[in-house]
């Protein structure tokens, strides 16, 4: 096949491209320029899409002997990912920009351009597995569960997945680094990127305040209704947050307070003890079924509400694009705007992704 390898400049995408070449595909490497003003150098594991990253990707492509291009997707990335991120926080929701980036940039914008240029598939360095069972495409967890990225890919449609390749799905990260070193790739020991790529200093609150300004409101005790303090905007908080509340007095049980809910219209941030964080029911909309199979009645499953962690057994039921999830055991810190991913446990083969949806409310 003609394969477009998305090369971020990291070790995973470089090895994924190498494996696509080894498999006999006609591979072309492409680095996505996602920032209008890319930084000159990374700071350890912070940031991505820097000039250094593009140079690392080019060097890897040279070693692999494949053509290499840089495509400017900065404008679309800003519109689809950054502005969506800011808008969601302004509305009191907690988005996952990596999910949005995969959905809107790597497997929509990039894939559309690749298909228009005659490519058959896009290969990435994601840790997830694709398999065809009885003629149906399935998305599954990777072999290395500690690096599994099926959560951030679960919002892709069956059509998008049919043109995707994840060459690292059956590998462990340590083996990928060892392979990169063996191949002479300079990125073999390059640190992985962490945090939000377009907020390299990690200060999300300041990033949002720079764009939204200050929107003063009150910090209110969820149990008594007492005003405990003031804040500069609900966008500076997320459900489950404990630090940085600016409240000196502890909760009524003598323990720290946590953010329990956000009300962007009134500017109210309700706080309380950790006992108020437990969630038994999740309601979610905009359901997507990567394998093309909608839930048929109440379905036993395992749900995940964060890229790493937030996992519980549950019973889920779909009604159109709406999904209702009854948790077997409470989860803490579940916030509107997050994505809930439904899995069917399958020992040995990697848990099967049933579907995903955007959390609209909890109780």
**Which positions are catalytic?**
101, 197
Q: What share of the chain is helix, strand, coil (3-state, %, to 5)?
A: 25, 30, 40
With 0-12 CB in 10 A as exposed, 13-18 as middle and 19+ as buried, what is 219? buried
Tokens of 204: 């999300």
Separation of alpha carbons 33 and 210, rounded Å: 23
With 0-12 CB in 10 A as exposed, 13-18 as middle and 19+ as buried, what is 120? middle
Cβ neighbours for 264, distance < 8 A, ≥ 6 positions apart: 90, 91, 92, 234
Separation of alpha carbons 206 and 236, rounded Å: 8
Look at residue 183 and give its three-state secondary structure.
coil
Separation of alpha carbons 159 and 289, rounded Å: 11
Neighbours of 230 (CB within 10 A): 12
Could you give the C-alpha distances from 261 to 1, 93, 256, 332, 351, in angstroms and in order? 49, 10, 16, 12, 32
**How many angstroms separate the first and last alpha carbons of the chain?**
48
Backbone dihedral angles phi then psi of residue 76, each to the nearest 5 degrees: -70, -35
Report the half-sphere exposure of 120 (CA within 13 A, side-chain side). 8
Could you give the C-alpha distances from 30 to 23, 176, 197, 271, 345, in angstroms and in order? 18, 20, 18, 46, 35
> For 132-145, what is the HEC assignment?
EECCEEEEEECCCC
Could you give the C-alpha distances from 135 to 128, 131, 144, in angstroms and in order? 19, 10, 26
């Amino acid at each position: 096949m003609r394969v477009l390898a998305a090369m971020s400049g990291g070790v995973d995408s470089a090895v994924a491209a190498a494996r696509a070449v080894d498999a006999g595909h006609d591979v072309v490497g492409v680095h996505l320029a996602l920032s209008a003003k890319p930084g000159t150098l990374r700071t350890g594991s912070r940031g991505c899409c820097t000039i250094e990253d593009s140079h690392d990707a080019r060097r890897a492509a040279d070693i692999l002997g494949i053509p290499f291009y840089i495509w400017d997707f900065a404008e679309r990335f800003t519109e689809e990912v950054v502005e969506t991120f800011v808008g969601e926080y302004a509305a009191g929701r907690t988005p996952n920009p990596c999910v949005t980036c995969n959905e809107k940039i790597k497997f929509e914008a990039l894939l559309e351009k690749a298909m228009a240029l005659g490519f058959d598939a896009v290969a990435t360095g994601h840790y997830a597995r694709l398999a065809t069972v009885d003629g149906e495409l399935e998305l599954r967890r990777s072999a290395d569960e500690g690096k599994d990225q099926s959560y951030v890919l679960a919002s892709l449609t069956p059509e998008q997945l049919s043109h995707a390749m994840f060459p690292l799905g059956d590998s462990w990260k340590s083996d990928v680094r060892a392979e990169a070193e063996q191949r002479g790739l300079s990125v073999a020991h390059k640190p992985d990127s962490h945090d939000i790529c377009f907020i390299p200093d990690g200060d999300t609150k300041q990033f949002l305040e720079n764009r939204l300004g200050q929107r003063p409101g009150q910090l209110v005790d969820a149990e008594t209704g007492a005003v405990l303090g003031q804040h500069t905007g609900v966008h500076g908080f997320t459900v489950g947050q404990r630090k940085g509340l600016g409240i000196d007095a502890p909760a009524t049980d003598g323990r720290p307070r946590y953010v329990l809910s956000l009300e962007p219209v009134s500017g109210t941030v309700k706080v309380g003890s950790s006992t108020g964080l437990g969630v038994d029911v999740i309601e979610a909309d905009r359901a997507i079924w990567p394998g093309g199979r909608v839930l048929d009645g109440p379905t036993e499953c395992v749900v995940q509400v964060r890229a790493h962690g937030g996992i519980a057994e549950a019973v889920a039921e779909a009604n159109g694009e709406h999904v209702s999830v009854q948790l077997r055991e409470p989860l803490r810190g579940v916030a509107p705007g997050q994505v809930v991913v439904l899995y069917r446990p399958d020992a040995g083969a990697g848990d099967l992704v049933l579907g995903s949806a955007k959390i609209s409310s909890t109780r």
